[in-house]
Amino acid sequence: MIRGRLAPSPTGAQHLGNARTHLAAYWAARSVGGELALRIDDLDSPRVKSWAADQAIDDLRWLGIEWDTPIARQTDHVEHYRRAIETLHRHDLIYPCYCSRKDIEEAISAPHESRFRGESAPYPGTCSGYQYGDRIEDREHCFRFRAIDEALRFDDRLMGALRCNPAKELGDFPVVTRSGHASYQLAVLIDDRLQGVNQVVRGNDLVASTFRQIDLAERLEIEAPEYAHLPLVRGSDGRRLAKRHGDTRLSFYRDQGVRPERIVGWAAASLGLIDRIEDCEAGELIECFDWEKLPTEDLLLGPETKRFAE
């Protein structure tokens, strides 16, 4: 059975782009009689807002999205992360890295343009000579994972067959932060395994993360989910949604009295599931979901969203 997931991060308010992705994940799972898990990705402690988790849950309920599992939180899984980190360490798959961001920038001699969104030049391997059992210095450090130096491939439900050599294109990456917490890359992989998630629908800005997580999964000998990367919602200037594009928070629309059916209909139309924007309940559109209909290009917000609150 398919089990998808919703994983809002309580680092800020959920916006229209988040709503579109959450609804797509809901429809993808429900269209084949699958289940949906809910997890609050609250591990990013410095950025977590105290109000954001409850607001995200309220937003999901307002949209009409239902889930099948108790609400989980990443902070409930810390012991599982620790065990995975110990396994990686024993097998010499991670190493302490003392480099600052400035150290790394200075070590990279040539400009680098990645084919993956938002990715900088691969880490130059300055600290990678460490071997398990060597002394770990008593100064600030993270632990980096030794990315595999061979081609990895996965079949994305939307983007098709994708390939990457993690060592050459992405480089070694942190699995333990300088504060001692598990990084996003490791945490979400362990979270999905614990919740029985086998289908992940998320934004196409996370393709590089998927290769990292598949690499980790193979080394930890656990099965990675199936992935589908949706095109993003961007402002009219092509940039990520932000205050400069007006208020696109779901809580803003709720407070303005906008009906959730309007947002659901907009999301469905923008995904090609219905012909035009019309008020719809989330559950009414389950049978309309079709992977073949989904777009592959990012969506620029149009004037219709400004009229939601009128």
DSSP for 283-299 reads GGGGGG--GGG---SPE
Torsion sign, CA atoms 58, 246, 239, 100: negative
Residue 154 has pLDDT above 80, yes or no: yes
Higher pLDDT, 42 or 310: 42
pLDDT value of position 245: 63
- Asked if 269 contacts 308 with a C-beta cutoff of 8 angstroms, the reply is no
Residue 296 has pLDDT above 80, yes or no: yes
Higher pLDDT, 310 or 154: 154
Tokens representing residue 78 in the block: 């810390």
- Asked if 269 contacts 203 with a C-beta cutoff of 8 angstroms, the reply is no
pLDDT value of position 310: 54
pLDDT value of position 302: 76
Q: What percent of the chain has pLDDT over 70?
A: 95
Q: Name the band, by pLDDT with cuts 50, 70 and 90, for residue 235.
A: confident
pLDDT value of position 119: 87
* Mean pLDDT, rounded, for 145-173: 97
Number of residues in the chain:
310
* Mean pLDDT, rounded, for 197-212: 97
Residue 114 has pLDDT above 90, yes or no: no
* DSSP 8-state code for residue 238: S
pLDDT value of position 261: 97
pTM of the predicted model, to two decimals?
0.94
* Mean pLDDT, rounded, for 65-92: 97
